[in-house]
């Protein structure tokens, strides 16, 4: 066999080395300096392990279809039932709208506290096999509301909590009762001296026993509580973490009935502020020095500001929720901005409000251009810049993007760990803050009632109009079910940013679907 000449071997090795350098450059193995004004030029680049063609023509052979409710999302927590009873025929046209608004407030507050609230009515009571026999014991053969509510509750066969819809759960430092009830481990009948039958809980077996006890009342004129009090374990103290807007308590507060929903909502918001006053509230703003990218944090700041301010109230003087007469006066929380997510969070961490943009939205807004061709993305768009930026100060500079992405995911999931005490609010920037009131349990003030919010909204509107040609077509494109080539290109370039965005989108879509199923039942 004839040996290859030395010169030919030398040229062959040189050619192989040149090809290797080209492949590494295309694949992103050689770090590329990010060209923009700011302090982010030193951020580490990440090796793209997806193969060099994926960085040039991602999605070239097949088109990806999104499924935000992916299997790797954590399972939904179990929601324990909480029931209330409402008979529309007991209310005139003048008060029906107010009562229905109170029902909505009740449902929203208990949903945010982790329960599955349900409104029962006369039809539910009459489904029970004891209904006709029981009704015969009362004048006019019509079940009183307190008896009908117990019958409807027992008919469901689940046990749980039976609550007056004028009782709402508050955000309090001590939420032990709510956590215990959310474990769905109900036993004997429990009642409270100050609420009567307004707030009781028991297993399905004991709820059924209570209904059986009412079939043959010894005193038909007596209330259901007086007839069955011996069946209950009655607590002398009011249940913690709730407020009961009974007729007597409403009179003590000096509330006009039609203003009660506003007062309840303001008390819910104020109790949230008191619970977070020591920890504070912060809006995630990782790109303060880049005005284009900072635009993507404005909605988080606006939401955080609305949360941090004491809400308006129809009452002329400050008031405390019923059962909590010693509450301190509401003091607005100092709002801060933070560039980083802490590596770990606990009960002392501030409440964090954050939006995460899709990699394509972020790149288009950051570089102020669209479309974003493959060559530009390969040479100019830094991989996983958002995830790296929000963890830069809390993690080692040597940490890879996947590890940083896990920190973000833990922060998002940790926001829902404590029942009735969310530690954060997250959303994908493109989807906005729909249904936030169901996550918090109350509605936020709007710009018409807050001059400061009106100024913030004016700034956001001005920026939206200024950048509309950039963000609007891009945000619409990334929300499509079918992923186009440019979206796939940016997701392939920033795998962790794209994964975290899809994770948060998946949680949001699933929350939306859960609420939709709840509304349809």
Helices and strands counted in the chain (H then E): 20, 12
Backbone conformation region of residue 241, classed left if phi is above 0, alpha if psi is from -120 to 50, else beta: left
CA–CA dist 81, 157 (Å, integer): 11
Q: What are the tens digits of pLDDT across the range 27-68?
A: 444 443 333 333 443 344 333 333 333 333 333 334 678 877
Q: What is the pLDDT of residue 39?
A: 41
Query: What's the DSSP call for residue 342?
Result: -
Contacts of 264 (CB under 8 A, 6+ apart): 102, 105, 168, 243, 245
**Residue ranges with strand state E in 215-361:** 233-235, 242-244, 281-284, 335-338, 351-356
Residue 369 DSSP SS3: coil
CA–CA dist 228, 214 (Å, integer): 8
Q: Could you tell me the CA-to-CA distances from 377 to 23, 28, 368, 371, 469 in Å, in that order?
A: 16, 11, 13, 10, 19
Task: Using alpha carbons, select from 233, 70, 85, 75 the residue that is nearest to residue 152.
Answer: 85
Q: What are the tens digits of pLDDT across the range 212-256?
A: 888 766 666 667 777 788 899 999 988 889 999 999 999 998 888
pLDDT grade, residue 449 (50/70/90)? confident
pLDDT grade, residue 346 (50/70/90)? confident
Q: What are the tens digits of pLDDT across the range 424-445?
A: 999 999 999 989 999 999 999 9
168 or 218: whose pLDDT is higher?
168
Q: What is the pLDDT of residue 17?
A: 73
Contacts of 277 (CB under 8 A, 6+ apart): 331, 333
Contact 456, 449 (CB under 8 A): no
Contacts of 160 (CB under 8 A, 6+ apart): 80, 81, 82, 83, 153, 184, 186, 201
- Backbone φ, ψ for residue 426 (5° rounding): -125, 150
43 or 414: whose pLDDT is higher?
414
Residue 161 DSSP SS3: strand
State the CATH class of domain 80-244.
Answer: alpha beta
CA–CA dist 339, 394 (Å, integer): 10
CA–CA dist 51, 193 (Å, integer): 69
Tell me where in the chain the CATH 3.90.550 domain(s) lie: 80-244
């Amino acid at each position: 066999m004839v040996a290859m000449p030395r010169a030919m071997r030398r040229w062959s090795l040189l050619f192989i080395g040149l090809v290797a350098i080209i492949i590494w450059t295309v694949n992103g193995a050689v770090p590329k300096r990010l060209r923009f004004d700011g302090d982010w030029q030193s951020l580490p680049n990440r090796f793209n392990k997806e193969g060099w063609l994926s960085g040039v023509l991602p999605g070239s052979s097949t088109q990806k279809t999104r499924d935000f409710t992916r299997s790797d999302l954590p399972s939904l927590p179990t929601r324990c039932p909480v029931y209330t009873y409402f008979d529309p025929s007991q209310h005139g046209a003048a008060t029906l709208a107010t009562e229905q608004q109170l029902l909505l407030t009740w449902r929203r507050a208990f949903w945010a506290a982790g329960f599955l609230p349900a409104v029962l009515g006369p039809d539910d009571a009459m489904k029970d096999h004891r209904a006709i026999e029981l009704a015969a014991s009362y004048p006019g053969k019509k079940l009183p509301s307190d008896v009908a509510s117990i019958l409807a509750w027992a008919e469901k066969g689940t046990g749980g909590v039976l609550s007056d819809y004028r009782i709402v759960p508050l955000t309090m430092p001590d939420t032990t009762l709510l956590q215990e009830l959310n474990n769905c481990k109900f036993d004997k009948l429990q009642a409270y001296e100050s609420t009567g039958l307004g707030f009781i809980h028991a297993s399905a077996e004991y709820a059924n026993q209570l209904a059986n006890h009412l079939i043959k009342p010894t005193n038909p004129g007596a209330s259901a509580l007086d007839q069955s009090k011996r069946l209950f374990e009655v607590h002398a103290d009011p249940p913690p973490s709730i407020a009961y807007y009974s007729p007597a308590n409403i009179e003590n507060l000096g509330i006009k009935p039609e203003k009660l929903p506003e007062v309840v909502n303001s008390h819910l918001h104020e109790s949230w502020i008191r619970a977070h006053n020591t920890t504070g509230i912060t809006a995630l703003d990782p790109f303060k020095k880049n005005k284009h990218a900072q635009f993507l944090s404005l909605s988080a700041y606006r939401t955080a500001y609305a949360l941090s301010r004491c809400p308006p109230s129809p009452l002329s003087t400050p008031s405390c929720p019923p059962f909590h007469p010693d509450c301190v006066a509401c003091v607005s929380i100092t709002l801060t901005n933070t560039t980083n997510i802490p590596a770990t969070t606990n009960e002392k961490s501030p409440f964090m409000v954050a939006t995460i943009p899709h990699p394509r939205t972020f790149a288009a807004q950051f570089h102020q251009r669209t479309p974003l061709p493959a060559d530009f993305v390969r040479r100019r768009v830094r991989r996983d810049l958002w995830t790296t930026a929000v963890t830069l100060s809390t993690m080692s500079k040597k940490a890879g993007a996947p590890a940083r992405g896990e920190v973000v995911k833990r922060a998002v999931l940790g926001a829902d760990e404590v029942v009735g005490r969310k530690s954060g609010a997250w959303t994908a920037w493109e989807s906005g803050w729909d249904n936030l009131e169901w996550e918090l349990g109350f509605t936020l003030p709007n710009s018409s009632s807050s001059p400061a919010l009106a100024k913030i909204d004016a700034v956001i509107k001005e920026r939206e109009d200024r950048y509309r040609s950039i963000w609007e077509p891009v945000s619409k494109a990334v929300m499509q079910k079918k992923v186009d080539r440019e979206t796939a290109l940016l997701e392939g370039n920033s795998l962790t940013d794209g994964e975290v965005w899809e994770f948060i989108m998946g949680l949001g879509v699933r929350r939306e679907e859960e609420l939709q199923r709840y509304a349809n039942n």
